[in-house]
Amino acid sequence: MLETFEEAHSLLRRAQDNEAFRRYLARRSPFLIPVGIAMLVSGIALAAGTVVFLGGTSPLLVLPAILLVPVVLAGSVFIQLYVFGSWLELRALARALGHSAGRPVVPWALVAGLLVVPFAMLAAVSWQTALGVVVLMAAAPLLYAYFENRRDTRRAPVAEGKRDATNPR
């Protein structure tokens, strides 16, 4: 698990030090902000589901459940950011090098402990909320990719000799 945190730190460093990656992220910030909000909302829902699930089983578990809130919240958001950030880096490299993007390495042990288990607790308490979280977590990267591709398609260079309203030359 420690290597995941080291890799996350390395990813953050690359995002800060690599000019091309930094520009890629800066140009797409209008799409990244809603994804970050979606990750935060899903993390809050998972943390709340953990508290309600554990607190509803025994009064003795209320305090440990409350103490788990920052762990579940920070952990679930961290995992989502890490996987999404790795995916963005692969997309940026693919665009720069002109090939298809691969898949990011997923730290499955952390995903199980910080996403799957809290999600199961949330589903046991409220399947409707859990369904909403699944939709939110799935829709965020899909919508990001859709709007990014749409944005890039509109900004694609116009073929020689053809003109349009966005490119008068």
* Residue 18 resides in a domain: yes
Report residue 85 CA to chain centroid gap: 7
Which one has a higher pLDDT value, 35 or 101? 35
Confidence of residue 38 (pLDDT cuts 50, 70, 90): very high
* Residue 160 resides in a domain: no
Q: What is the mean pLDDT of residues 65-88?
A: 94
User: Alpha carbon of 143 to those of 35, 41, 119, 140: distances in Å?
Assistant: 9, 16, 22, 5
42 with 137: CB under 8 angstroms? yes
* Residue 150 resides in a domain: no
Answer yes or no: is pLDDT of 29 > 90: no
Tally the domains of the chain. Answer: 1
Distance CA 32, CA 102 (A): 20
Which one has a higher pLDDT value, 14 or 155? 14
User: Alpha carbon of 130 to those of 46, 113, 117, 118, 124: distances in Å?
Assistant: 8, 16, 12, 10, 9
* Residue 13 resides in a domain: yes
**Segment 149-168, tens digit of pLDDT:** 887 777 655 444 444 444 44
* Residue 159 resides in a domain: no
* Residue 162 resides in a domain: no
Query: Would you state the pLDDT for residue 167?
Result: 46
* Residue 96 resides in a domain: yes
Range of the domain at 103: 2-145
* Residue 169 resides in a domain: no
